Amino acid sequence: MPRFLTLIRLDENNLPEDGFSPEMGERMGALLKEITEAGVMLDTAALTPTSQGRRVTYSGGTLTGTDGPFTETKEVIGGYSIIQAKDLAEAEEWANRFLKVHDEVWTVTCEIRQISED
Amino acid sequence: MTTASAVEAVFRIEQARVIAAAARIVRDVGIAEEIAQDALVSALEKWPDSGVPEKPGAWLTAVAKRRAVDLVRRRENYARKLAEVGRSLEHAAEPPPAEPSPDSGPEADIDDDLLRLIFTACHPVLPTRARIALTLRLLGGLTTEEIARAFLATEAAVAQRIARAKRSLAAADVPFEVPYGPDRAARLDSVLEVVYLVFNEGYSATKGDDWVRPALCEDALRLARVLAALLPNEPEVHGLAALLELQASRIPARTGPDGSPVLLADQDRTRWNRLLIRRGFAALDRAAVPGVPPGPYVLQAAIAACHAQALRYEDTDWAVIVTLYGQLAAVRPSPVVELNRAVAVAMAEGPETGLALVDAIAGDPELKDYHLLPSVRGDLLARLGRWDAAREEFLAAAALARNDRERELLLTRAERAEQPEQPGQPGRAEQSEQAERAERAAGEPGRTGPGPDVVPGG
């Protein structure tokens, strides 16, 4: 049963002002319960804004570090999950459910990537 | 436009709950499974045009419940059960709302249905193999073909086993319920045992040429995680989950590039899955209830945790492991547990002491055909430099081993025992892992208690 890393991408400069509505928080909680009870969720977390992050690049034998925020990409990774599902279609269904708990003011992208098991 | 694969993915996710909801009404898991399949057909007909509904699980469940109610009403022989189910049918028969409101039925109901299904599929009225097949089919969502492949059986045999199990449940009039009475502990034990045995078959296959079949381990692990979510107040459920998470964390290191088994002592511990180890520890924490003495699964998980904590084999705290095996022997005495305790004692106090303990249980009829008894003896004799005796034991163990990979390993060790000066001579005990597989005469997997067994290596 393959494992998948889902990367939640969003535009952190255009987040809904109210953030999470209470209803959305409730729906999110219910989904988390459901996906946990299905034995699917292995690990998940939200990430702090990129302004608190750091990037280190290795190129030509030298290290270069830069502070966040990472403004050159519109969408940054705002969260992740590691799930175990039978196939990509099943992982996508869970991703759909995760996306659908968001209020309509949100624009969120879920990138689903299978974890290599070799 | 919804593709069939998307509909099927939804169905696989919801299948167990749909079956469970239908089973509560028709009180027959076989019929419930057919009803669930009908609901899938409905979805395949409707969703490609209408799209996947907002709450696909609720949609499928509602369709299944409606069919279940129709069936109960139609069949006269269900009249008696109809009375039992009574007024709740009226509620269940409502058509699925286009947009189910969040309060369209408390979550707890669905969870209870699922638990009823689990306890029914693992009912002691069924032989162990039937429980395993039925649980994987109804709760694991495996096809008959997948189960057959996993257990190296023919599809026809598995299909027959499942059909017979369904008939047995119906014939015995097994109530579709979660046991809360005095038999709850035994019933729960039966559920845990099924999951445990599935895991073990994957972890060190009893036959065939694969040493490990990770897919089965994953199916078992998923079931354990489901149980832990549904039964959060049962320490042993968390103990089982912890044990399996920790055991599974080692899978990537248990086989060499050529598929041969790698002993726990020789495993590259950087290949252990840290996420699973972390999950195992978290589950073990949840299993700890002040004032409640740890049960067999919690104790085995604690032993697995000792291994997980050691960054190098040399760092293993054998004294703690000896103590834990002592506790395990007290709550679930079995010669297999004693054998493991002997291995731990040999590591903590020396092979001489360990060998004395092994010899004390060597005559136990339960260990008569157990290849790990001579395997452990061989290992301890080798550590004492008694090469000829060690070689005899490894050969005896190889003759008893049912797994091809394991047999090869034991033959290799027998060969090496002829040339003790060779590098690679194992000088360390093979502490093992749990994988109790005492086979009854009927070929029925059984056990005398979850016992760690001394698989050569981990």
Exposure on the CB side of residue B239, measured as CA atoms within 13 A: 23
Rounded to the nearest angstrom, the minimum Cα separation between B275 and chain A is 8
CB contact (8 A) between residue B6 and residue A92: yes
pLDDT of residue B2: 67
Amino acid B441 reads A
- The 8-class DSSP code of residue B98 comes to S
- The 8-class DSSP code of residue B255 comes to B
- The 8-class DSSP code of residue B261 comes to B
CATH number of the structural domain A3-114: 3.30.70.1060
Domain B325-438 falls in which CATH fold? 1.25.40
State the burial class of residue A80 (Cβ atoms within 10 Å of its Cβ: 0-12, 13-18, 19+).
Answer: middle
End-to-end CA distance of chain B: 49
- Are A78 and A46 in contact by the 8 Å Cβ rule? The answer is yes
CB contact (8 A) between residue B279 and residue A42: yes
pLDDT of residue B114: 94
| Distance in angstroms (rounded) separating the CA atoms of residues B48 and B4 | 8
Q: Is the dihedral of CA B191, B195, B196, B198 positive or negative?
A: positive
**Phi, psi angle pair for A62, to nearest 5°:** -120, 150
pLDDT of residue B457: 38
Record the tokens describing residue B58, joined without a space.
Answer: 């609720």
Q: Kindly calculate the radius of gyration of chain A based on its CA atoms and give it in whole angstroms.
A: 16
pTM (two decimals): 0.86
- The 8-class DSSP code of residue B58 comes to H
Partner-chain residue, chosen from A38, A93, A100, that has the shortest CB–CB distance to B226: A38
- C-alpha distances (whole Å) from B418 to each of B352, B379, B424 are 21, 13, 13
| Pick among A32, A83, A93, A100 to test the B interface (most B CBs inside 10 A) | A93
What does the domain layout of chain B look like in residue ranges?
325-438
Helix B351-361 × helix B335-349 angle, to 10°: 170
Rounded to the nearest angstrom, the minimum Cα separation between A104 and chain B is 14
How does pLDDT run along chain B (458 residues), one tens digit per residue? 568 888 999 999 999 999 999 999 999 999 999 999 999 999 999 998 888 898 899 999 999 999 999 988 887 555 665 566 665 655 555 544 443 333 344 445 778 999 999 999 999 999 999 999 999 999 999 999 999 988 889 999 999 999 999 999 999 999 999 999 889 999 999 999 999 999 999 997 766 677 778 889 999 999 999 999 999 999 999 999 999 999 999 999 998 888 888 989 999 999 999 999 999 999 999 999 999 899 999 999 999 999 999 999 999 999 999 999 999 999 999 999 999 999 999 999 999 999 999 999 999 999 999 999 999 999 999 999 999 999 999 999 999 988 888 899 999 999 988 765 544 434 443 444 333 333 222 233 333 333 333 433 34
What is the tens place of the pLDDT at every residue in A23-60? 999 999 999 999 999 999 999 999 999 999 999 999 99
Residues in B closer than 8 angstroms to A33, CB to CB, are 107, 229
- Are B415 and B392 in contact by the 8 Å Cβ rule? The answer is no
| Distance in angstroms (rounded) separating the CA atoms of residues A67 and B211 | 48
Q: Does B9 touch chain A (CB under 8 A)?
A: yes
| Distance in angstroms (rounded) separating the CA atoms of residues A102 and A95 | 12
What is the tens place of the pLDDT at every residue in A71-110? 888 899 999 999 999 999 999 999 999 999 999 999 999 9
- Are B403 and B261 in contact by the 8 Å Cβ rule? The answer is no
The CB density around residue B11, as the number of other CB atoms within 10 Å, is 22
**Phi, psi angle pair for B263, to nearest 5°:** -65, 150
- Are B74 and B82 in contact by the 8 Å Cβ rule? The answer is no
pLDDT of residue B448: 34
- The 8-class DSSP code of residue B213 comes to -
- Are A49 and A11 in contact by the 8 Å Cβ rule? The answer is no
Enumerate the β-bridge partners of residue A8: A79, A110
- The 8-class DSSP code of residue B403 comes to B
Q: Which residues of A touch B (CB under 8 A)?
A: 1, 30, 33, 36-40, 42-43, 82, 84, 86-87, 89-90, 92-94, 96, 100
CB contact (8 A) between residue B230 and residue A37: yes
What does the domain layout of chain A look like in residue ranges?
3-114
Q: What part of B 133-152 touches A (C-beta under 8 Å)?
A: 141
Rounded to the nearest angstrom, the minimum Cα separation between B158 and chain A is 21
Burial B116-149 (b: 16+ CB within 10 A, else e): bbbbbbbbeebbbbbbbbbbbbbbbbbebebbbb
Rounded to the nearest angstrom, the minimum Cα separation between A4 and chain B is 13
Nearest CA to A38 among B221, B341, B177? B221
pLDDT of residue B127: 96
Question: How many residues make up chain B in this entry?
Answer: 458
Residues in A closer than 8 angstroms to B231, CB to CB, are none
pLDDT of residue B77: 57
pLDDT of residue B439: 29
Residues in B closer than 8 angstroms to A89, CB to CB, are 5-6, 8-9
